[in-house]
Structure 1
Amino acid sequence: MLGDDKETAAQLKGVQTLMRGLDILDQVIDGPVKVTDLARNLDLTKSTTHRLVQALRARDYLSITADGYSLGPKLLQLGTMAHEQVDYVRLARPHMEALSEQTGYCVFIGKREGDWSRHLERVTGRQRLRVATAPGDRRLIGETGLGKALLLDEDTASLTRLFYAAKPGATREQLSAWLEAMEGHAKRGVVLHDSEAGDGVRSVAAPIRDAKGNIAIALSIAGASVYLTDQVIENLVVPVRNAAAEVSLVLGHVAR
């Protein structure tokens, strides 16, 4: 029991520290605040406040200015990312729902994060066997149909680097086959993908472009191979491509 009490006390202390750190961030939302003012506003000692702000500054959640502490680059970065994700989900969601209703399959959207793709949203289909991928999941960008759709504008050098990053022991023949497949996807404007993870998942994916014509996010239908037969896959190409084009139009992209 004594050990449990110590663990509980440590957890409570950790929560209290976290809440104090969040309180400090709340204080600086509207502009820089000096340590003495933070301590007074939050009823903390100056030494405790100084320790907390130094920890937040070390992780780039706070910056120091001539007028005191202000929001740091990490928060500005997270704010930008959150804004983009909320906008993409909000704008794409009606088209995802319409596509899922039309086809009966799970529909996803996702974005690129360096050499990774992150799923932002999912609309669940009507199949009993469902894809386990959930919003927030991250995969190496070349491992999924959605990730490949995000790469359709990449040049050969970039695709080669990404291929070997995922498969460092691959042969030149395997690379050549993958590059040829990616070239075919790019010409068609849609990716037909069979999972290599042994989970029996197949997908159809297409890029979504912004007003500048750049690939912003991608949209995909994914499901178990028992449902997504070769014939079904082919029948989904046009609906997926059309849905991606509709979302692209919402983002300001006009196809030429």
Structure 2
Amino acid sequence: MEIEKILKRIGIDDEPSSLKPSYENLKRLQEAYILSVPYENLDFIFKKEFSVNILKIYEKIVCNNRGGICYESNTLFVYLLKQLGYDAKMIFAKVMDLTYIGADYPHLALLATIGDKEYLVDVANGQNVRVPLALDEDTIVESENVQYQIKPCANGEYALMFNHKTKGWQIRYQFCTKGKTVSDFETVFKDEDNYKQFSNHAPLLVTKALRDGRITLTDDMITYKKQNDKKVWGISLENRAEVLRDYFNIQV
């Protein structure tokens, strides 16, 4: 695997040596990945088993220009960070909305340490915060017209909060800081009965961040958001491949 090719995939042509650990570089890398690699669960639709093997993920996302679910994109991204010299690790999170991922599948996110601060980093959770968030700061940031912040929980865990326009502050997901390895989730889809049951009912989701919005494909609909404008139109099953090619640069 070539680090330069991963960087090129996310639109960065700089030499790896120029991306040494710093908050600004981490922020740039996270944003670049989110703007370049969609979250997509097409393999559920294809009835194809997901792999957490880094070589297969590299081939899928970097060589074949696909996107991925959290186990794929965050595995690739933490590999990139470590190769660039970052102190980074995988963590598990409990997502409140289980529409696109079953209850049996914990969300995979990342923590990166720079100096004496730990930052939540997540490049594979659909519409989400786009910048690293320090765990020990009460910082509020805005992404796609939604405010986010991290709050400590009574049980020693943390919650990524978002400010719902009518319900106020809600939990996006809750997480602990214990590091995980690939061995902790490599069998997450090996339960054939659970996998088949979920994949047979999981709705299609392909979503990619834009600098000023987001484009999302679901089973039979495209949603295009740009600043405060929103357009929605239906598509047919026969047009899915064309839509994936034209809007997400994914060839299937």
Q: TM-score, normalised by structure 1?
A: 0.25
**Greater per-residue strand proportion:** 2
**Greater per-residue helix proportion:** 1
Higher relative CO (Cα under 8 Å, sequence separation at least 6) belongs to 2
Q: TM-score, normalised by structure 2?
A: 0.25
Bigger radius of gyration, 1 or 2?
1
